[in-house]
Structure 1
Amino acid sequence: MRSVLSCLALAAATLLGASSALARAFPTKPIKAIVPFAPGSATDQIGRAFANEMAKTLGQPIVVENKPGVNGMLGAADVAKATPDGYTILIGTNSTNAALKSLMKQLPYNQDTAFAPLGYPGSVPLIVAVNNDVPAGNLRELVDMAKAKPDSVTFASASTSQLVSTEMLASMAGIKMTNVPYKSGPAAMTDLIGGQVNLFTADFAVMLPQVKGGKVRGLAVTSTKRSAAIPELPTVNEALGLKDYELIAYFAMFAPAGTPADVVAKLNAAINAAANSKELQDKFAPIGFVVEPGTPQALGERTRLETAKWAKAIKDAKIEPQ
Structure 2
Amino acid sequence: MAVPTASTRSLRPLASLRRLTVAALGLFAAAGVQAADPFPHKPIALVVPFSAGGPTDVVARSLGQAMSRHLGQSVVVENRTGAGGTIAPAYVARAEADGYTLLIHHNGMATAPALYRKLSYDPLKDFEYIGQVADVPMTLLGKKDLPPNNTAELVRYVQQNESKINLANAGLGAVSQLCGLLFEQATNVKLNVIPFQGTAPAMTALLGGQVDVLCDQTTATLPQIAANKVKLYGVTTPQRIRALPNAPTLQEGGLKGFEMKVWHGVYAPKGTPAPVVARLTAALQAALKDPAVVKRLDELGAEIVPPAKQTPEGLKTWLKAESDKWQPMLRKAGAFAD
Question: TM-score scaled by structure 2?
Answer: 0.84
Aligned to 1:243: 256
Aligned to 1:304: 320
Aligned to 1:225: 239
Alpha-carbon shift at residue 122 of structure 1 (Å): 1.3
1:268, 1:296 within 8 Å by CA — same for their partners in 2? yes
2:218, 2:300 within 8 Å by CA — same for their partners in 1? yes
Following the alignment from structure 1 to structure 2, what is the Cα–Cα distance between the partners of residues 287 and 272? 19
Following the alignment from structure 1 to structure 2, what is the Cα–Cα distance between the partners of residues 21 and 246? 50
Alpha-carbon shift at residue 143 of structure 1 (Å): 2.2
Letter in 2 for 1:189: M
1:193, 1:216 within 8 Å by CA — same for their partners in 2? yes
1:68, 1:183 within 8 Å by CA — same for their partners in 2? no
Following the alignment from structure 1 to structure 2, what is the Cα–Cα distance between the partners of residues 114 and 207? 33
Aligned to 1:116: 128
1:51, 1:62 within 8 Å by CA — same for their partners in 2? yes
Following the alignment from structure 1 to structure 2, what is the Cα–Cα distance between the partners of residues 313 and 268? 32
Instruction: Identify if the C-alpha distance between structure 1 residues 176 and 20 changes in structure 2 by more than 3 Å, giving closer, same or farther.
Output: farther
Structure 1 position 126 matched with structure 2 position 138: yes
Alpha-carbon shift at residue 215 of structure 1 (Å): 1.5
Following the alignment from structure 2 to structure 1, what is the Cα–Cα distance between the partners of residues 33 and 303? 35
What is the total number of aligned residue pairs between the two structures? 303
Q: Equivalent pairs: percent with the same residue?
A: 33
Following the alignment from structure 1 to structure 2, what is the Cα–Cα distance between the partners of residues 134 and 49? 35
**SS at 1:238's partner residue?**
coil
Following the alignment from structure 1 to structure 2, what is the Cα–Cα distance between the partners of residues 157 and 279? 31
What 5-or-longer segments of structure 1 have no aligned partner? 1-17
Cα-to-partner distance string for 1:30-82 (whole Å, 9 max, x where unaligned): 11111101122111111000000000111111111112223211111111111
Alpha-carbon shift at residue 221 of structure 1 (Å): 0.5
What 5-or-longer segments of structure 2 have no aligned partner? 1-30
Aligned to 1:52: 65
Structure 1 position 270 matched with structure 2 position 286: no
Aligned to 1:15: none
Instruction: Identify if the C-alpha distance between structure 1 residues 229 and 103 changes in structure 2 by more than 3 Å, giving closer, same or farther.
Output: same
Q: Which ranges of 4 or more aligned residues in structure 1 deviate by more than 4 Å? A: 18-24, 315-319
Alignment of 1:1-322 (within 5 A): 22=35, 25-95=38-108, 97-158=109-170, 159-239=173-253, 241-292=254-305, 293=307, 294-314=310-330, 320-322=336-338
Alpha-carbon shift at residue 313 of structure 1 (Å): 4.2
Question: TM-score scaled by structure 1?
Answer: 0.88
Alpha-carbon shift at residue 284 of structure 1 (Å): 1.6
Following the alignment from structure 1 to structure 2, what is the Cα–Cα distance between the partners of residues 216 and 24? 53
1:94, 1:161 within 8 Å by CA — same for their partners in 2? yes
2:84, 2:174 within 8 Å by CA — same for their partners in 1? yes
Following the alignment from structure 2 to structure 1, what is the Cα–Cα distance between the partners of residues 312 and 286? 14
Larger Rg: 2
1:126, 1:201 within 8 Å by CA — same for their partners in 2? yes
Instruction: Identify if the C-alpha distance between structure 1 residues 244 and 312 changes in structure 2 by more than 3 Å, giving closer, same or farther.
Output: farther
Compare 174-183 and 141-150 and name the one that shifted more. Answer: 141-150
Following the alignment from structure 1 to structure 2, what is the Cα–Cα distance between the partners of residues 274 and 106? 36
1:34, 1:88 within 8 Å by CA — same for their partners in 2? yes
Cα-to-partner distance string for 1:114-137 (whole Å, 9 max, x where unaligned): 111111111111000011122221
**SS at 2:142's partner residue?**
strand
Instruction: Identify if the C-alpha distance between structure 1 residues 304 and 185 changes in structure 2 by more than 3 Å, giving closer, same or farther.
Output: same
Alpha-carbon shift at residue 139 of structure 1 (Å): 2.3
Compare 143-152 and 199-208 and name the one that shifted more. Answer: 143-152
User: What is the root-mean-square deviation of aligned Cα atoms in Å?
Assistant: 2.0
